[in-house]
Structures are given as C-alpha cells and as structure tokens.
A and B are shown apart, each in its own frame.
Chain A
C-alpha cells in the first residue's frame, strides 16, 4: 500500500531530494579543494560544484566561518523550498529537523548573552536552518534581570517550548507543581547550559522517534534504525566525555544518567549497565554484549588514554566524535537505498551538514597552512564496489 500511495503526497519531494543528493561533492571535487593554495582558490573551486556562485558577494579575504555560514544558508534555503511544498505528515517530519537546530541556536544564544556578546554578532552566527522570529528577542534581552525574561519568551509560542517544559519537569522535584517564575529562573541559573542542551536533545530525540513510529511502514523502519543508533551514540559519547572529565561524584553520575535517552538498541538493559559504570573498564564491560559498539569503543579508547600511554602519533587516533560522524554518514547513505519513505529527507540534511563540516575543515586547514591535514574529512557517498 505504501508503494501505491506514497507518491500521492510526497512523490515529487522525494524525487527532488534525491535530485539534490546528486549535488554532493565527489571525491574528485574534494581533491581539487584540498589542492587549493588559498581561500580564494577554494572559492573558485566551489563555483564549479553544486554550490555555485554562493560566495560571490563576499569581500575577498573570506574567513572560514563565513564560508560555513554561507553553506548553511544555502542548505536552509533548499530546505525551506522543500518545506513549503510538503503536506501534513512530511511537513511535521521536516519541522522536527528544524527543531533540533532551534535547540542548538537557543542554547547558543543564551550562552552568548551570558558572555555579553553583541546581539548582531550572535544572530549572525545562528544556524539558519533553525531560525525563528523570537530569536531576536532572546539575543537582545537584558539578562541582568535574570533569566526570567528569556524563559517567558522560550516557553510561550516557540516551537521549542514543549521541550523546555519537559526539561523543567525533569529538573524540578515532582511536589513543586505550582512553581513560581522565580523558582524557574533559579533552576535555570543552576543548570549547566551544556547539560540543558543535552536534556533538550534527549527529549527531542524521544519525541521524534515516537512521531516516526506513528508514521509506520518503511519510514518507521529506516528512521527507527537511524534514531536508535544515534541515541546509542549519544549514550556512548556522554559516558566517555564524563569519564574524561574525571568527575565521578555521585551527583554528577546522577546528572549524567538523566541524559540517557529511553530508546535505542542499548535501552533498557545496556543503558542500565552503563548507568552503573564509572570508569573505562566498567564501560567496556557494559558494552561487551553489543559487539558493534564495543568495537567502536575499542577503536577510540587509545585516543582517550593517549596521555597515559604516551602515544605520540595522534594522527592515527580517532576520537569517538570522529568515529560517530563516520558511522552516521554510513547510516544516512543507506537510507537512500530504499524508496517511498521519509528517511531520505533526514539523511540529506545530515549529510549536507557533514559536507559543510568537511568544507569548513578544509578551509581552516588551508588558511592555517597545514595542507597535510586536508585529507582528514568524512567523504560522502564514497564509491563502493
């Protein structure tokens, strides 16, 4: 049935996004970029690709952050084109993708206002994919009066409101049902922003997964796999990073355990085992029954213990983040192997983000004059034989 009815609403957009898929930079184009001598050369090289003349109006010494921002704007434009033509289930699916970016943006903005950056500067740096009008209000807010104002703005009428609400419910004790604005503000002050971001992302992930499951069919199958794996990666990276800070007090362990999403292949037994883990050996033991994750852990373990083991050749070592990026690209590429599902939209956005990271990395390396590192990118749709 999916085969015969999917195209009624979403056939055009699916075909369009598959057309956009052919716009990813090829291995040859990456090689050409890596051989550039300067950022201006890169600009010329990019003009021959699907990116086209998007850097045309920039004054000549282009910083790599501007390239990244321009790339993201191009992605956001294409995304908006898709979004404006989407029908109901797909439109909500696409909105979920923007909400993830909105969470990033809001947390970034709050962090920026805390550090007293200028609003223009902050708004110039937000991800255009997750742009929403209330953002201006957050950036230009006077935070001397506490976070109360931000909170009012956030909770009312923004797409991220529900997630902030569920976050609040989790951090406040259950008995304080009627909490005043003052209390809310105090929670906000206490909570570490990074912690808050992770909690919001967790709520988003669970919500998105529930939505994909209601869609059913191949969408639930493909997206279920991607989101489950992603949430497992999230569990692993949170765990490893908290190990690295060497802060294993029970309070922090509690904070950490709040961040584990309640979905994924690790959930519930694996997550439970990791919850009890406190150092590398115990984490490894907890991951033991999950072969792919245990293998991933073994791959990146030397990176984290390099200080102790005294390995000097850092080039060979990869952090968990790098490995996760690679795995995610692989996951998203496989989503294109099936037709008639929404996973391709998610995958296209994720792959484009990785491509932008690649371009920015190459630009950074070129402007720093360290061309030997330009090869260290995650190629997208690498030819498979």
Chain B
C-alpha cells in the first residue's frame, strides 16, 4: 500500500480493514464475558470457601452459583463462534478499498462484541454478588438457598438477553460472498 494522506476521521475509519473490526468484536465478546465469569466466580468462591468451614454441607450445593457464573463465559464463547463463522469472503476491489457490505458487516460484528461483552460482564458481577450472598445465607439457614437461587437465575437472565440481542444483531452483518 502506498503512503496516503487522510483528510478526515471518516476516511481513516473507512480504510480500516473490516476484518479487524470483526476480530476486535470477537475479542471483546469473548474477553469481557470471561472477565465477568471469572469475577463472579471469585466473588462467590471466596465466600463459599469461608462459609463452608463452619457449615460443610453447603459446599456441593453452592457450586450451582459457580456454574451460573461459568455459563456467562459460555455465552461469550457461543457468540464468538457465530461471529467467527461469519468472517469469510472479503475481497478488496483496490488496495484499501472495501465493498460497502463488508464495511457494514465489520461494524456490525464489532458492536455485537460490545453488546455481548458488556451485558455478560455486568451479568457475571451480578451473579457473583448474589452467589456470595447465597453461600453465606445458606450456611446460616438452609431454607434461604432456593430463594437466593431464584435471585441468581434472574441475574443470569441478564446475560442471556445480551446473547439473544447479539445473535439478532449479528444476523444483519454478512460479509459478501467470495466470487
């Protein structure tokens, strides 16, 4: 590619490879989801370990809270796989010039990553905090477990919303078929 002069920010963005937008989207969706899941697991886990010293019976039951957090990471993986499958068939008509469909698809996948990553990060923290409360509550009073579990399920639903919206969003972004 020869040295070029850019005249505006729009032009700068126009010349960025749509694949790189899509790849950043994948990185965000997977990375933020895993961050959220890990955060939730350490919030739950540290409380669970402490609480199960005096009440060992809670230790297997409360692994459910950890699994809820883990699910958040799986959401990110699912979306990342869907997005990877969409990345194919990019052709340059001239150096640095991409077809408009490809540019639209690149932006689309980037924002899918933001949607899914952001919602799963907050979902992971929410499930982690309620899971930590669940472990402490269960240790004191076993009847609280089911009640806290419902709170956790609703927290977990937040991440699912992100996934559903992300899938619908990703449907719009298709790279043009290679000819």
Q: Are B47 and A7 in contact (CB under 8 A)?
A: yes
CB contact list, B109-164 vs A, under 8 A: 125, 128-129, 132-133, 135-136, 139-140
Residue count of chain A within 8 Å CB distance of chain B: 17
B132 x A13 contact (CB < 8 A): no
- The main secondary structure of chain A at its interface with chain B is helix
> Does A11 contact B140, Cβ atoms closer than 8 Å?
no
CB distance A21 to B140 under 8 Å? yes
Residue contact A22 to B54, C-beta cutoff 8 Å: yes
Chain B, Cβ-Cβ closest to A16: B50
Nearest B residue to A15 via CB reads B50
Which residues from A are CB-within-8-Å of B42?
Answer: 7-8, 11
Interchain nearest-CB distance for A383 vs B (Å): 12
Known contacts A7-B42, A7-B46, A14-B47: A19-B129 contact under CB 8 Å: no
Report the minimal beta-carbon distance from A376 to chain B, rounded to whole angstroms. Answer: 28
Residue B16 interfacial (CB < 8 Å): no
A4-B129, A8-B42 are known contacts. Are A22 and B47 too (CB-CB below 8 A)?
no
Whole-angstrom distance from the CB of A347 to the nearest CB of chain B?
A: 15
B120 shortest CB reach to chain A, Å: 15
In the complex, which of the residues A3, A11, A14, A16 has the most CB atoms of chain B within 10 Å of its own CB atom?
A: A11
* Chain A nearest Cβ from B128, distance in angstroms: 8
CA distance A16 to B48 in the complex (A): 9
Contact flags (1/0) for A1-26 with B, using CB distance below 8 Å?
A: 00110011001111110111111000
The residue on B at minimum CB distance from A336 is B140
CA distance A23 to B48 in the complex (A): 18
A15 with B46: in contact, given A22-B55, A22-B139, A339-B136 (CB under 8 Å)? Answer: yes
> Mind listing 16 A-B residue pairs with CB under 8 Å?
A4-B43, A7-B46, A7-B132, A11-B50, A11-B132, A12-B46, A12-B49, A12-B50, A15-B139, A16-B51, A18-B140, A19-B50, A21-B140, A22-B139, A339-B132, A339-B133
**Residues of B near any A CB (own CB < 8 A):** 39, 42-43, 46-51, 53-55, 125, 128-129, 132-133, 135-136, 139-140
Task: Give 7 A-B pairs besides A16-B54, A19-B55, A22-B139 with Cβ atoms closer than 8 angstroms.
Answer: A3-B129, A4-B43, A15-B47, A15-B48, A15-B139, A18-B51, A19-B51
Which 4 interchain pairs have the tightest Cβ spacing?
Answer: A15-B50, A19-B54, A11-B46, A15-B51
